[in-house]
A and B are shown apart, each in its own frame.
Chain A
């Protein structure tokens, strides 16, 4: 198994331990975009300088599905944006690691957690970069449940109209909202067609296949116009812990009793298998 898969396995365990220490956190929505995050942050997609988080030419990243922040925190700590020891403060009074992310924490560009904001913000950033002739890109990860928000489609139409080819959007298509299937509450399908109809460059990809994600992110037209790209990343909410996977019961529930040992055991086993 490759180094990036190992990284994903290690960070999943980190996410679980961070949440267990805090006694709270949205673990399944964090697990579903882990490989997406690893591809972006470790897989050569994003240009970042952990020792200079506000470097002017950095690529901008917005976790629009802010409730998935445990994975973002694990990634940023792993890269050295802040000390890994700070993960232990998650959601404690005064911590820079709140239950949803904000720019108090180095590496976090914007406040997120109320859904439907990230794509418009990202479009504004992408427009700004192009206006300046800069070659940094803006990437954002959306939840699929988040795509029930009308503001997402306002922004999607805008980004396509302005040919923001320097905007990369990845939808974590785990097919679950907070309590039920996205298709049961208000069907999103034909989901990819919605984006195609709006003029987006749509790539459908296995959201847990890091190499496939890297390939789908390849060749973005930095600094140039073109159709904005969206990856519809098919994922499994709660990926990595069997009893959380694709379960309507597991959005922000925490493991209890024997579930804790079982979750840890599965994540450790996966890590050992990856190394």
Chain B
């Protein structure tokens, strides 16, 4: 059953902020959205289509923010991160400006459109940017809520948006928003930390594993930076097995940040990082099949939870050794 579309929720939240505030702008690289059309009709001077020019979009956004405005930039995730990465680093982050990136198409939302449109490398890129808050909401309710959180921060932020519109979990509490992650189910045998579209898969997998006698805590990590340290550090101390799940390449994403946290914390649970491969997915990529192959679908997560040999690695994740 379809739930609240994350993109609709995001533009609804922006419309609320812009309703009586002439200092809220939305820039787009010629990407459309119903919510954007509505906002343009209501506040025409505050919605600007810069054309397909991502570098300039971010520089102009930074200039508008220097002038005292809150600026949202919107486009396809893969295009509005890597193409304009230096503008994000220097124009936005170096000045700690309130520019909030909105990227539609996280993970393999656009899998069938080919590798140019895959949003599977950006977490590593974005979280390397100093001062950049990175949100990866799992559902529409969360997506709307983090718009306000990002705007209130007064600094650089980026919100990944998925094309899936799952039935939302309960609305985030103020405490959840502050924490950056929340516990959806609890169990003592394992900790599943999931983000974005993988959260729903992880909850289902944990329900099935529970029937098989493995009780897992499932965490929705909707903010990847700043890392939800307080909650995660506490949870990491309490379990023998940690499984991270993300629809992102294996380098630099959620699994990497949890590995960093485990190292920093000095705890020693077994860590299984479930992700897409460190690879370019050529051709039309079906989301379900790619998730299954990478072991980030419900079955794959369940297998990781119930695996006897918890140190086993996923063979397909091993880099190919070339002679």
Contact = CB atoms under 8 A, between A and B. Distances in A.
Interface of A: 60, 102-103, 109-111, 114, 116-117, 119-129, 131-132, 138, 150-151, 154-155, 157-158, 162
Interface stretch (B53-61, B128-136, B241-249): B53-61
Contacts of A155: 56, 59-60
B24 to A, nearest CB: 11
A158 B28 CA distance: 13
Contacts of B48: 127, 162
Contacts of A123: 56, 59-60, 63
B59 A117 contact: yes
Given A114-B86, A117-B90, A123-B60, A109 B66 contact: yes
B68 interface: yes
Contacts of B59: 117, 119-121, 123-124, 151, 155
A150 B55 contact: yes
A162 to B, nearest CB: 8
A128 B69 contact: yes
Given A124-B63, A125-B67, A131 B45 contact: yes
A154 B66 contact: no
A158 B60 contact: yes
Given A151-B56, A154-B53, A155-B60, A128 B66 contact: yes
B94 interface: yes
Interface in B50-80: 50-51, 53, 55-56, 58-69
Of the candidates A114, A116, A158, the one having the most CB atoms from chain B within 10 angstroms of its own CB is A158
Given A117-B86, A131-B22, A154-B55, 16 more contacts: A102-B94, A103-B95, A111-B90, A120-B87, A121-B60, A122-B63, A124-B59, A124-B63, A124-B66, A127-B60, A128-B69, A132-B67, A132-B68, A151-B56, A151-B59, A158-B51
B162 to A, nearest CB: 29
Given A151-B56, A158-B51, A126 B63 contact: yes
Nearest to A152: B56
B91 interface: yes
A111 B90 CA distance: 7
A135 to B, nearest CB: 13
A126 B50 CA distance: 15
| Majority-rule SS of A interface residues | helix
Contacts of B86: 114, 117
A157 B51 contact: yes
A124 B51 contact: no
B63 A125 contact: yes
A241 B202 CA distance: 69
| Majority-rule SS of B interface residues | helix
A123 B95 CA distance: 17
B87 to A, nearest CB: 7
A120 B55 contact: yes
Nearest to B52: A154
How extensive is the interface on chain B, given as a class? Answer: 20 to 34
A103 B66 CA distance: 12
A95 B61 CA distance: 29
Nearest to A126: B63
A127 B63 CA distance: 8
Interface of B: 22, 45, 48, 50-51, 53, 55-56, 58-69, 86-87, 90-91, 94-95
20 contacts: A102-B94, A110-B62, A111-B91, A111-B95, A119-B59, A120-B58, A121-B91, A122-B63, A123-B60, A124-B59, A124-B62, A124-B64, A128-B64, A131-B69, A132-B68, A138-B63, A154-B51, A155-B56, A157-B53, A158-B53
A128 B55 CA distance: 18
Contact of A129 (B45, B51, B62, B67): B67
A69 to B, nearest CB: 15
B90 A114 contact: yes
Of the candidates A110, A121, A124, A126, the one having the most CB atoms from chain B within 10 angstroms of its own CB is A124
Contacts of A127: 48, 60, 63-64, 67
Contact of A110 (B22, B64, B95): B95
A151 B86 CA distance: 11
Contacts of A109: 66
Nearest to A113: B90
A63 B73 CA distance: 25
- Top 8 nearest A-B pairs by Cβ distance? A124-B63, A128-B67, A120-B59, A154-B56, A124-B60, A154-B53, A151-B55, A125-B63
B67 A120 contact: no
Nearest to A167: B63
Nearest to B65: A124
Contacts of A128: 63-64, 66-69
Contacts of B69: 128, 131
Contacts of A103: 95
A110 B66 contact: yes
A128 to B, nearest CB: 3
B71 to A, nearest CB: 8
A132 B91 CA distance: 21
B62 A121 contact: yes
A120 B53 CA distance: 11
Contacts of A119: 59
Contact of B66 (A102, A114, A117, A121): A121
Contacts of A121: 59-60, 62-63, 66, 91
A106 B95 CA distance: 14
